[in-house]
Structure 1
Amino acid sequence: MQAGIFGTFNEYFSNSLSKKMKDRTRQAVLAGRFPWKAPIGYLNNGRKDGANIEPDSKRAPFIRRAFELMARGTHKKSDVLKMITDKGLLTNRGKPLSAQTFQQVLRNSLYAGWVTLPSDPDFSPVRGLHQSIVTQEQFDCVQTILSGRKLSAAPKRKFNPELPLKCLVRCEACGTPLTGGFAQGRTKKYPRYWCRKSGCRTVKLAAQELETEFLGLLQQLAPDPKTVSEFPKIAARVWTEKQGDTQKQITRLTARLDEQKKLRKELRNKFLSGSFSDSEYNEAKVEYDAEIAVIEDELRTLDSQRNTMDVFVRFAELLLMDVARAWQIAKPEQRQRVQNLLFHDGLQYSPESGILNRSKSSLFTMLEKVSDKNGLLASPTGFEPVLPP
């Protein structure tokens, strides 16, 4: 009986203590403070008043960079994680972030300046006292992309480079897109295409045979002289349009770089005047140096893209004259773009006649439409700058 009494008392004490801790945590969050261990990118500063976490000068720039890359919608999440890991982002234990932890980072509104109470799903986020690492706009954009409500330019569908003509070529007998796979030979597996429709199976051949015929078809394609003469103008204009956003980014980043350098200079002046101690100065300088390094790295990347227009125009013109070569050297995902531009309505295959091109729409047809004076005002859909590998 005595054991039962002590057990009841211990349970009551534990519950009471737990309730007090929860109440204290809630009050801290309502005050805009973060009453837990700081996540990667932040450090606990131990202050009893005001913000009790602050950006980690070593890791915050990498977190900011990750959000910036994700917000563009041009990179897969796994690629962004690899980029910032390669740049040097590691946990406090010196290990790379796992994919699960990185997902939690991207979903954590703390980085945008908010504090939440995970134990209470009905709790409304509170504006934190701490300094945010990313803007609200960037955070919202990333949430939209992660939720799948905005198409990312990064390819989502896997493309098998050994079977590039799946779906593009249809069975001439029944009109069903060909599928593909690997047949087991004596020593290895061989890629093949076949009609997927049950009861038909009119088409079945080795991948090498179909793709050799396809390359032969590409070699027969050639634009008319007028299209060739106008193409450099079209390519240059499309490049300029695509780089418009790049120039805006360069302008924004340059302004931010100038601001960071100005702040770093002011920091040094105050240090020389005795306003800061050595430790305070060094800690702040490390943060500014890291931020400036990240901005300069991004500016170099954008500048190299901006300065390659002439290369792109010459390369694009060369590919227009040799479409077969363009398809051969293209990356797997780019092959799909080339195929769709050339044969908008697809192709058909007959065992007797081989590949049949009954497509009424092609890249050359679109280029002919935009090569006149008025057509130069709009670029053909799907025509985008693709630099040589």
Structure 2
Amino acid sequence: MQFLFSNYEKEVIKERCQNGIRDSLTNGEWVGHCPFGYTQVGIKKDRKYVINEEGKLIRKAFVWKAEGKTSEDILKMLKSRGIKLYSQHLSRIFRNPFYCGLISHSALNGEVYKGNHPALVSQELFLKANKILQGNTQGYKHNQDEEHLSNLPLKNFVKCAKCGVAYTGYLVKKKGLFYYKCNGKGCKCNRNAKVMNNLFEEFLSSYNLNPNLTDPLKFALEYYLDAMSEESEQDTEVLEKQLREVQKKLDTIEERFVLSEITTEMFQKFMPKYRQEKEQILKELGKYENNLSNLQNRVDEIAQSTSNVLKMWRLGSYENKRKLQNLVFPDGIHYDREKDNYRTLRVNSVFGLSRYISENYRDKKTGTKDLIACLSPSVARRGIEPLLPG
């Protein structure tokens, strides 16, 4: 049977549907597609949304974003943990207030309501990840003003040495001056942005290699690579032995199953376990092979880049500055307002080596024995962090 409606009747039906959707939304009930990271349990009035395992990783993604990591790096970290997303999808996730317990929908005409679903992250973390000023919970407008960003490249990267809270930034319009601000409770370690930026350049310059010292750095890198290669050969032998053993187990259990010596239940119990062990071993072997070949091919590039790190930061865009900062100082840096200086707990080992050579090898006129003597074997064992994205 076919039902025919006039245009007026269609409009009435449409309006009632929209009103029904709006009523549900204002009551905190989500009516759209189940967002990524949640699982829908039940239907209609009994419908609930629960955070699943993917959601727990998305929560980490918000934390990484708030810490200043780039979307590219976050996508790689998620992929290594089993979640493959595209940049646009990740961007939509970060902008969706559903994840901080709120509901925004086209039927609400810009209004935002508290949802009945569990929040994946706090509103504070959501705003921080989106670089939004606290209190602007309805607009969700990103502050992408180029001048603002270019004057505050250290925002959310530098932490206060006194309280450990990351610095944010703001503009005093009357003065036309930018400031970094510590939001730690009871902490008033605010500082002129230009002063802190200049101080950071001075701090970064200590890791800028003198071009005349590229040969000692290249020698040191090759020395590290040799040490890593020797140790990796030993580790590779162990892994290859493990691979042979697990392959033997796989062959044995398969043969016994074919000969009906073991039950289907036993086969299904142990076969996935051995296959997983094999995949893990192959993955570890791949790391050794890729790390060594990539580093060996990039010694010249690494040496050249360490000679230009300060220039790269000065001339780089906001995004490139952020990438470089996180590259040189993987754990960020701390600013001490009283001493007016920076300090860091960890430096990319390549830049640490560059600084050591600049400070200790500059005046040495003879060979490389002194340099070899000072190289720490532990650094070679840890390996060298990748210097620049490919």
Give the TM-score normalised by the residue count of structure 2: 0.40
Q: TM-score, normalised by structure 1?
A: 0.40
Larger radius of gyration: 1
